[in-house]
Copies of this chain bind each other. A is one copy, B any other.
């Protein structure tokens, strides 16, 4: 019998719909069936979320994670007492709220690295607020890698209902992305794809790899990265037990994935994947930071300022984010597999 992982749930930026959907997530029985969950944030923000959601949770504030009694039927919470909702305008960007969200995630990361938590699921941040709040990184994944003192490959994973994407390159210029299509990074993305899909329960993942150039380079006529870098790397990886299909022209690999021929697509650059996933409904999807000691998952949608406090925010995406966090954390915990792929 496997032990349930312990997931830390962060309520998201106080100005957005995070508290509301976190409460709705916590009200669902399936949430607690998948993992032990501890809320980390300010109790007053949780109360706001309960008011927004129109739901009351049986919550017990604890002083530390080691004080939790998992058998008393309540949901444990670490009350950081740092965020008074009355001090913020709802539905408006706040650097202070961004700073508080970042600090909470930083504290939770320390607890994962100490072994007190197995993963982190967080309700939506406002990325600009996080940046203005003092966390000056190209994206939150860089911030997380910094906290985890990570070297080597790690990457943003995007989950939509049809398939999952893994990135060889991400938040860099297209010109730099072309330079960064290296055997090492391809290996990182393919390895992460295999381990993540296995954590999701797919024992033999079918992974399509996108080409870099139009028509997959048309036999070298439109670029030779497929012939010189991508194909030889995929061949080596297959010999090492990491099979894939590709490189396939990027305008057909997603059609195959939509037709359920692939579970995942490894993409060479940011927009290659994002054009496809956003057209296919990514805002209902999940974003995962993969390849670090700490697992982070979050809904793909944002703080949705236009519907804050109306009670109509949907918890579907955060429920999926929680599910994948639990799956990956359980996989790491029980197989002692640390998804470091560098």
User: Which residues in A have some Cβ–Cβ distance to B below 8 Å?
Assistant: 138, 170-176, 178, 212-215, 217-218, 221-225, 249-252, 254-255, 258, 269-272, 274-280
Contacts and interface: CB of A to CB of B under 8 A. Distances in A.
Nearest to A257: B279
Nearest to A274: B251
A214 B279 contact: no
Nearest to A278: B251
Contact of A279 (B175, B215, B221, B258): B258
A213 B174 contact: yes
Contacts of A270: 214-215
Taken together, the copies of this chain in the complex come to 2
A251 B270 CA distance: 9
A273 to B, nearest CB: 9
B275 A276 contact: yes
A283 to B, nearest CB: 9
26 contacts: A138-B222, A170-B214, A171-B214, A171-B222, A172-B223, A173-B214, A173-B217, A173-B224, A174-B174, A174-B212, A174-B223, A175-B178, A214-B269, A214-B271, A250-B271, A250-B274, A250-B275, A251-B271, A251-B278, A252-B278, A254-B279, A255-B278, A255-B279, A275-B276, A276-B279, A279-B280
Contacts of A173: 213-214, 217, 222-225
A270 B214 CA distance: 6
Nearest to A277: B251
Nearest to A220: B173
A233 to B, nearest CB: 17
Contacts of A251: 271, 274-275, 277-278
Closest 9 CB pairs between A and B?
Answer: A173-B223, A251-B274, A214-B270, A250-B271, A275-B275, A251-B278, A175-B178, A173-B213, A173-B222
Contact of A178 (B174, B214, B222): B174
A275 B272 contact: yes
B279 A279 contact: yes
Nearest to A178: B175
A275 B255 CA distance: 9
A73 B255 CA distance: 45
Given A171-B221, A174-B213, A275-B276, 15 more contacts: A173-B217, A173-B223, A174-B212, A174-B223, A214-B269, A250-B271, A251-B278, A254-B275, A254-B278, A254-B279, A255-B279, A272-B275, A275-B275, A276-B276, A276-B279
Contacts of A224: 173
Contacts of A175: 175, 178, 223
A224 B173 CA distance: 8
Contacts of A275: 250-251, 254, 272, 275-276
A60 to B, nearest CB: 42
A87 to B, nearest CB: 29
A71 to B, nearest CB: 46
